[in-house]
Amino acid sequence: MRIRLLDPLGIQGRRVLNETDGLGKGDSVWVREIVNEQYALGVVSARTDGTPRSVQFTLKQAGLKDIGNGLYTCVDLFDSSVPLEMWNMTDIITLYVDPDSIIMYRCSPPGQ
């Protein structure tokens, strides 16, 4: 996976949001710092109900550092057909996660 190749820090990911933070039951957001203000961001669904559900959060809620302009470029690590995303710290991000699935992004300041 591309994260492992870019992860000299070897920091374990941590759950930063779950249903007690307003997400649906079985949904959670995980983050880990990689290097140079880059982050791995995972949205996990442990549900088994059979339908995708939206998960909404901001980068600020997920705990990413505000790097001045607050803008991050985020790339889907599993699906290269998903367009590159540009999110700032307060954008409401809406991702649709299938049951028993994960969406994972690498987020970095523009130009990195």
Give the CATH number of the domain where residue 46 resides. 2.60.40.1180
The pLDDT, as a whole number, for residue 62 is 97
Q: How far is CA 79 from the centre of its chain?
A: 14
- Total structural domains within the chain: 1
Domain boundaries, position 23: 2-108
Q: Are 40 and 92 spatial neighbours (Cβ–Cβ below 8 Å)?
A: no
For the stretch 50-97, pLDDT in tens is 889 999 999 999 999 998 788 999 999 999 899 999 999 999 999 999
Check if the beta carbon of residue 49 is closer than 8 Å to that of residue 69. Answer: no
Mean pLDDT confidence for 3-22: 79
Task: Return all residues near 75 (Cβ < 8 A) that are at least 6 apart.
Answer: 84, 85, 105, 106, 107
Q: Is 79 helix (H, G, I), strand (E, B) or coil?
A: coil
For the segment 40-58, the average pLDDT, to the nearest whole number, is: 94
